C-alpha cells in the first residue's frame, strides 16, 4: 500500500500506483515546460506557484479516470497539464481579488510583484493552457471553454451576492459548483475521454468530478473554521477574517434569522457581522463557530456530496481505479473532520 497524491490517498494496486506516479511526474515536467518563456522574469513569475507545490488533485483525478480506457494514451498527460494550468491561473487572479499575501506557504505573486503583474501572469498561464489544449482537438477546446465560462460565472455570482429572495445557501452551492466543481468535473471527463473510454463512462466520471469538487470546497470551508494548525494551507479562520461567507457562516445566519434561534445564535451572528480583523473579536467568533451546530451541519453537507460522488461510481466495473476513486471521497470527507 503506497500513499500518492493529495490527502494521503492509499493505492493498494502496484500497477495502478506505478501508472499514477508516472503520470503525475510527467505532469510536473509538463507544467514546468509550459510555463517557460523567452523572458526570464515571466518564467520566474509563471513558475512561482508551480514550484510551490500543491495537492495536484485535478491531475490525480485525470490519471485515475484514464484507467477506464487506455491509461497510456497520448492526450492524458497534456490534458492534466491543461486543467492544472487553468487552476493555477485562477489562483493568481483570486489572490489579487482577495488581497492575499501567502499562497501554498510562499509569498503570493501579487504581494511579491504587485497586482498588475500577478493578473498578467495568470493571463499568461491561461494562454499556455489554451496552446496545449489546441493540440487535443476541437471537442476538448469546447469542453474547456464551457467549464471556464462556468468558473467565471461562479466568481461573478460570488462577487455580486444572491439576488433578492434567493436562499443564500443555494446561491453559495451554485457558486462553488461553478468555481470549483466545473474544473474538477473536466479533470474526470478529460481522463476518461482521452483514454478512449465509452461515453457512459465519460459521463459518470464527469458527474463524479462535479460532486467531488463541491465536497472538496465544502471540506475547505469546514477546515477553515475547525483546523487548529492551518491544515488547509491557510491560517485558520482566514475566510472568517476576510468576511467571506462560507457554508458554516451561512448556516448560522439562516438559523439566527429563524424562529428557532436562541439568543446565543443571534449574538454570534451579530459578532460575525462586525469587523473581524480585530484579533480578539476574530478569536471569539472562531471559537463560537467551532462549538456551534452550524459547523456540524456544514460537515454533514460535505459528507452528503462526497457520498453522492461515491454513488455515481456504482455502474463502473470493479477495479483498483474505482476503489481509489471511492477512497478519494473518504479522503475529502476526512479533511472536514
pLDDT in tens, 290-300: 999 999 999 99
Provide mean pLDDT across the span 45-53.
Answer: 84
* Per-residue pLDDT at 233: 53
Provide mean pLDDT across the span 229-241.
Answer: 67
Q: Share the mean pLDDT of the chain.
A: 90
What is the domain range of residue 77?
11-197
* Per-residue pLDDT at 307: 97
Per the structure, how many domains does the chain have?
Answer: 2
Report if residue 166 sits inside a domain.
Answer: yes
Q: Using pLDDT thresholds of 50, 70 and 90, give the confidence band for residue 100.
A: low
Report if residue 252 sits inside a domain.
Answer: yes
Higher pLDDT, 135 or 118: 135
Phi, psi of 72 (to 5 degrees): -105, 10
**Which of 152, 176, 197 is the last residue before a domain boundary?**
197
Q: Clarify whether residues 18 and 159 are in a common domain.
A: yes
Provide mean pLDDT across the span 276-287.
Answer: 92
Phi, psi of 21 (to 5 degrees): -65, -40
Residues ≥6 apart with Cβ < 8 Å to 189: 65, 143, 202, 205, 206, 209
Residue-level length of the chain: 337
**Which of 162, 177, 197 is the last residue before a domain boundary?**
197
Distance CA 216, CA 61 (A): 13
Provide mean pLDDT across the span 20-27.
Answer: 95
> Residue 244 maps to which CATH number?
1.10.600.10
Q: Using pLDDT thresholds of 50, 70 and 90, give the confidence band for residue 58.
A: very high
Q: Clarify whether residues 298 and 226 are in a common domain.
A: yes
Range with the poorest average pLDDT among 90-104, 122-136, 190-204:
90-104
* Per-residue pLDDT at 112: 76
Report if residue 318 sits inside a domain.
Answer: no
pLDDT in tens, 103-118: 766 777 787 777 888 8
pLDDT in tens, 34-43: 999 999 999 9
Q: Clarify whether residues 155 and 72 are in a common domain.
A: yes
Q: Using pLDDT thresholds of 50, 70 and 90, give the confidence band for residue 3.
A: very low
Q: Using pLDDT thresholds of 50, 70 and 90, give the confidence band for residue 51.
A: confident
* Per-residue pLDDT at 14: 87
Q: Using pLDDT thresholds of 50, 70 and 90, give the confidence band for residue 135.
A: very high
For residues 307 and 208, is the Cβ–Cβ distance under 8 A? no
Report if residue 167 sits inside a domain.
Answer: yes
pLDDT for 66 beyond 60 = yes
Q: Clarify whether residues 218 and 297 are in a common domain.
A: yes
Q: What is the DSSP letter of 198?
A: -
* Per-residue pLDDT at 9: 61
Q: Clarify whether residues 143 and 34 are in a common domain.
A: yes
Q: Clarify whether residues 230 and 255 are in a common domain.
A: yes
Report if residue 325 sits inside a domain.
Answer: no
Q: Clarify whether residues 117 and 247 are in a common domain.
A: no
Report if residue 288 sits inside a domain.
Answer: yes
Q: Clarify whether residues 208 and 190 are in a common domain.
A: no
| Share of residues in the chain with pLDDT > 70 (%) | 92
Q: Clarify whether residues 155 and 212 are in a common domain.
A: no
**Which of 165, 197, 229 is the last residue before a domain boundary?**
197
Q: Clarify whether residues 119 and 136 are in a common domain.
A: yes
* Per-residue pLDDT at 46: 87
Report if residue 121 sits inside a domain.
Answer: yes
Provide mean pLDDT across the span 122-151.
Answer: 95
Q: Clarify whether residues 165 and 283 are in a common domain.
A: no
Q: Clarify whether residues 125 and 36 are in a common domain.
A: yes
| Share of residues in the chain with pLDDT > 90 (%) | 68
Provide mean pLDDT across the span 98-102.
Answer: 67
Report if residue 317 sits inside a domain.
Answer: no
Residues ≥6 apart with Cβ < 8 Å to 2: 10, 11, 17
Q: Using pLDDT thresholds of 50, 70 and 90, give the confidence band for residue 335.
A: confident
- Find, among 65, 57, 56, the residue nearest to 19 by Cα: 65
Amino acid at each position: 500500500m503506497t500513499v500518492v497524491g493529495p490527502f494521503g490517498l492509499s493505492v493498494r494496486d502496484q500497477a495502478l500506483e506505478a501508472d499514477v506516479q508516472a503520470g503525475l511526474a510527467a505532469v510536473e515536467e509538463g507544467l514546468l515546460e509550459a510555463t517557460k518563456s523567452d523572458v526570464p522574469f515571466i518564467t520566474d513569475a509563471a513558475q512561482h506557484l508551480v514550484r510551490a507545490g500543491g495537492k495536484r488533485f485535478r491531475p490525480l483525478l485525470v490519471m485515475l479516470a484514464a484507467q477506464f480506457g487506455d491509461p497510456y494514451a497520448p492526450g492524458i498527460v497534456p490534458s492534466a497539464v491543461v486543467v492544472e494550468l487553468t487552476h493555477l491561473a485562477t489562483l493568481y487572479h483570486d489572490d489579487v481579488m482577495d488581497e492575499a499575501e501567502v499562497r501554498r506557504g510562499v509569498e503570493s505573486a501579487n504581494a511579491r510583484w504587485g497586482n498588475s503583474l500577478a493578473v498578467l501572469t495568470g493571463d499568461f498561464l491561461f494562454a499556455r493552457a489554451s496552446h496545449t489544449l489546441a493540440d487535443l482537438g476541437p471537442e476538448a477546446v469546447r469542453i474547456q471553454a464551457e467549464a471556464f465560462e462556468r468558473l467565471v460565472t461562479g466568481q461573478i455570482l460570488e462577487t455580486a451576492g444572491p439576488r433578492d429572495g434567493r436562499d443564500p445557501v443555494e446561491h453559495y452551492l451554485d457558486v462553488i459548483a461553478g468555481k470549483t466543481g466545473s474544473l474538477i468535473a473536466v479533470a474526470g471527463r478529460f481522463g476518461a475521454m482521452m483514454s478512449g473510454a465509452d461515453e457512459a463512462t465519460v459521463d459518470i466520471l464527469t458527474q463524479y468530478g462535479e460532486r467531488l469538487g463541491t465536497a472538496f470546497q465544502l471540506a475547505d470551508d469546514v477546515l477553515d473554521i475547525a483546523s487548529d494548525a492551518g491544515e488547509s494551507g491557510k491560517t485558520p479562520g482566514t475566510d472568517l477574517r476576510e468576511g467571506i461567507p462560507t457554508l458554516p457562516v451561512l448556516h448560522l445566519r439562516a438559523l439566527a434569522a429563524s424562529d428557532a434561534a436562541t439568543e446565543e445564535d443571534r449574538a454570534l451572528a451579530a459578532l460575525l457581522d462586525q469587523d473581524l480583523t480585530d484579533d480578539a473579536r476574530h478569536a471569539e467568533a472562531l471559537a463560537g463557530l467551532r462549538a456551534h451546530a452550524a459547523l456540524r451541519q456544514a460537515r454533514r453537507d460535505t459528507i452528503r456530496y462526497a457520498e453522492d460522488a461515491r454513488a455515481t461510481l456504482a455502474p463502473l466495473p470493479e477495479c483498483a481505479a474505482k476503489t481509489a476513486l471511492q477512497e478519494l471521497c473518504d479522503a475529502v470527507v476526512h479533511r472536514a473532520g
